[in-house]
Amino acid sequence: MTTTTANLRYSKEHEWVLQLEGNRVRIGITDYAQKSLGDIVFVENPEVDDEVIANESMGTIESVKAVSELFSPVSGTVVSVNADLEDTPETINEHPYESGWLVEVDLSNPEELDALLNEDEYEAFINEGEE
């Protein structure tokens, strides 16, 4: 069973977005994504002050199975990076929605959040792929 969280928005690339104060959001990968990847051994995040663009690559994540691109679900400026993942990338496997977050972004286009999936839509999307 894959876990989701109702207060998040989701991309079809399996990233989640948590709206923080103002136009700031926190981004991570979903429980479904971390389970699909297997044991995560390395994360390459963008750096603070980097610009990210919705649906474009913002880094990579490496597991024992494969290296996958991380796609930004929104556009904006990176204001914080989860530096703990440099030494303990497996935190993503253990806590994908809490301490396993990737970056925080100051949105340049808050309307992009409306294009993301809510919990029910994301659950339906991943269940479609498993049939």
pLDDT single digits (tens) 21-68: 999 999 999 999 999 999 999 999 999 999 999 999 999 999 998 999
Residue 115 lies in a domain: no
Instruction: Check whether 1 has a pLDDT greater than 60.
Output: no
Residue 116 lies in a domain: no
Residue 92 lies in a domain: yes
Residue 64 lies in a domain: yes
Instruction: Check whether 131 has a pLDDT greater than 70.
Output: no
Note down the domain range covering 20.
Answer: 9-109
In this structure, what CATH number is given to the domain that contains residue 91? 2.40.50.100
Number of domains present in the structure of the chain: 1
Residue 119 lies in a domain: no
Residue 1 lies in a domain: no
Residue-by-residue DSSP string for 31-76? HHHHHHH-SEEEEEPPPTT-EE-TTSEEEEEEESS-EEEEE-SS-E
Q: Which residue has the tokens 């990210």?
A: 52
